[in-house]
């Protein structure tokens, strides 16, 4: 009897992949968690970008980032030759960053709660746009006023390979595939782990085209 015949008469069906995957003691991937919110998220995103369009910022070292950024919420993350920082106003317009849409806020809280962080109240959402070839080098999120709250990172559009490392840049990183609708949450003992994104591969997503959109929610103030 061939292996294919054996599979046909197997007693059990293959188990579907878990919806929650632990990648650290207090870090996990919530597979497809954002999908039920998708239409509302994309509508709200358009409204935010109408006020604060994507732009490619310059790092303190003088390098232009391959990822385009925007922000919403009480505080927005920016970078220029003077350093990395959170600001209350968009430096490009001088106006306050757009209010965080309710659907953003509620999704971030729901994902954090699912991951075991019940009191998360985000005040900042960094929005990243990756096109094929764009990447994010290994870094720690340490510009926030406190590290007590988790990071909630939502992936939409093209797939990505998320690097989740240790507490030193030289530590070995896990390579975690992220698909449309996946959310990564990390906090507690894992809060200051290095993380990044490998260059996005060419592709076309039926809803978002040739791009990956990433929302990263934080308690910055």
pLDDT at 17: 55
C-alpha to C-alpha distance for 56 and 71, rounded to whole angstroms: 12
pLDDT at 4: 33
Percent of the chain as helix, strand, coil, to the nearest 5 = 20, 35, 50
pTM for this model (two decimals): 0.91
Domain-wise residue ranges, the chain: 21-218
Binding residues for Fe cation, by number, are 139, 141, 195
Binding residues for substrate, by number, are 77, 84-86, 143, 169
- In which element (H, E) is residue 105 found? helix 102-114
pLDDT at 16: 56
The beta-strand segments (E) located in the chain are: 20-24, 27-30, 68-73, 76-80, 83-87, 124-130, 136-139, 151-157, 160-164, 174-178, 183-186, 195-197, 212-218
- In which element (H, E) is residue 56 found? none
Binding residues, by number, are 77, 84-86, 128-130, 139, 141, 143, 169, 195, 212-218
C-alpha to C-alpha distance for 195 and 141, rounded to whole angstroms: 9
Give pLDDT tens digits along the chain (221 positions): 333 333 444 444 455 556 999 999 999 999 999 999 999 999 999 999 999 999 999 999 999 999 999 999 999 999 999 999 999 999 999 999 999 999 999 999 999 999 999 999 999 999 999 999 999 999 999 999 999 999 999 999 999 999 999 999 999 999 999 999 999 999 999 999 999 999 999 999 999 999 999 999 999 99
Q: Which CATH number fits domain 21-218: 2.60.120.590, 3.40.190.150, 1.10.1060.10, 3.30.565.10?
A: 2.60.120.590
Structure tokens at 91: 């430096």
pLDDT at 38: 98
Binding residues for 2-oxoglutarate, by number, are 128-130, 212-218
Structure tokens at 132: 């094929």
pLDDT at 104: 98
pLDDT at 6: 35
């Amino acid at each position: 009897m061939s292996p294919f015949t054996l599979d046909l008469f197997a007693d059990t069906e293959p188990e579907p992949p878990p919806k929650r995957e632990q990648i650290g003691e207090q870090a996990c991937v919530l597979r497809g968690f954002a999908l039920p919110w998708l239409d509302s998220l994309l509508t709200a995103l358009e409204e935010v970008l109408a006020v604060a369009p994507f732009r490619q910022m310059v790092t303190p070292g003088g390098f232009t980032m391959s990822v385009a950024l925007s922000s919403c919420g009480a505080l927005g993350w920016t970078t220029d030759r003077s350093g990395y920082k959170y600001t209350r106003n968009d430096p490009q317009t001088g106006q306050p960053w757009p209010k965080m849409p309710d659907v953003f806020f509620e999704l971030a809280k729901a994902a954090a709660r699912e991951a075991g962080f019940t009191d998360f109240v985000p005040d900042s959402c960094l929005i990243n746009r990756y096109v094929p070839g764009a990447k994010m080098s290994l870094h720690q999120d340490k510009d926030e006023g406190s590290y007590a709250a988790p990071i909630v990172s939502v992936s939409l559009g093209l797939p990505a390979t998320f690097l989740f490392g240790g507490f030193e840049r030289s530590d070995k990183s896990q390579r975690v595939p992220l698909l449309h609708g996946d959310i990564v949450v990390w906090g507690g003992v894992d809060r200051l782990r290095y993380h990044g994104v490998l260059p996005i591969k060419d592709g076309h997503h039926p809803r978002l085209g040739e791009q990956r959109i990433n929302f990263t929610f934080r308690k910055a103030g």
